[in-house]
Amino acid sequence: MARPRRIVLVRHGESVGNADDSVYEREPDHALRLTERGWQQAEAAGERLRELFDGERVSVYVSPYRRTHETFRAFRLPPELVRVREEPRLREQDWGNWQDRDEVRLQKAYRDAYGHFFYRFAQGESGADVYDRVGAFLESLYRSFEAPDHPPNVLLVTHGLTMRLFCMRWFHWTVAEFEALSNPGNAELRTLLIGDDGRYTLDRPFVRWREPETYDQTR
């Protein structure tokens, strides 16, 4: 099995929805573009990626959203070195269709109180739903490693919550550990690196905004 040396996760650059959440009332979430700042963030991330990959081949999986496709284009990776696949299971958490800004803000407040993993948006998904489809994607990813000529690098261009849930699934984090972590910033990278023992470690942690609150504490 040709396991990759590194698996890189990248959040998309700043989108118009990150800059102005009223846009969700007029445009579908999947169709939102990068802002000018988002393009600059993605281009800077591309410089880091080209240095990291250093001319090696890369297997790329891109969320089907416009902002993730634009982010990948901004990386300017050598086309002869990349194999690109659109991967719907790496999409953003679904919140519904066109969204009323005040209603979404209210639901986000409910989610903060209820928990990001279990709270389900009224017309969309819970974090647990995203976890399940990320798990299904991982099964496909593992099978791809069986190819003897699999590239030494994997790149996932996705979304902040999906990045956290990918790592939760990969490293077997608890729900409490997931809830204690913040999303990465726009165009931030996290890299899973394989060690001599065949195990992967995260190059740097996600920012923790609180200590995990577990249910298994003794009274």
Q: How far apart are CA 14 and CA 34, in angstroms?
A: 6
Residue 213 has, within 13 A of its CA and on its CB side, a CA count of 4
Instruction: Name the residue with tokens 């396991």.
Output: 3
Q: How far apart are CA 13 and CA 5, in angstroms?
A: 25
Q: Residue 189: name the closest of 52, 15, 61 by CA.
A: 52
- Among 12, 69, 116, 159, which one carries the catalytic annotation? 12
Q: How far apart are CA 118 and CA 55, in angstroms?
A: 41
- As given in the structure block, the two tokens for residue 123 are 């017309």
**Buried (b) or exposed (e) across 93-102, using 16+ Cβ within 10 A?**
bebbeebeee
- Among 70, 92, 125, 188, which one carries the catalytic annotation? 92
Is residue 92 annotated as part of the catalytic site, yes or no? yes
Q: Residue 38: name the closest of 211, 185, 202, 203 by CA.
A: 185
Using alpha carbons only, how large is the chain's radius of gyration in Å? 18
Beta bridge partners of 6: 153, 193
Q: How far apart are CA 56 and CA 44, in angstroms?
A: 19
| Catalytic residue IDs | 12, 92
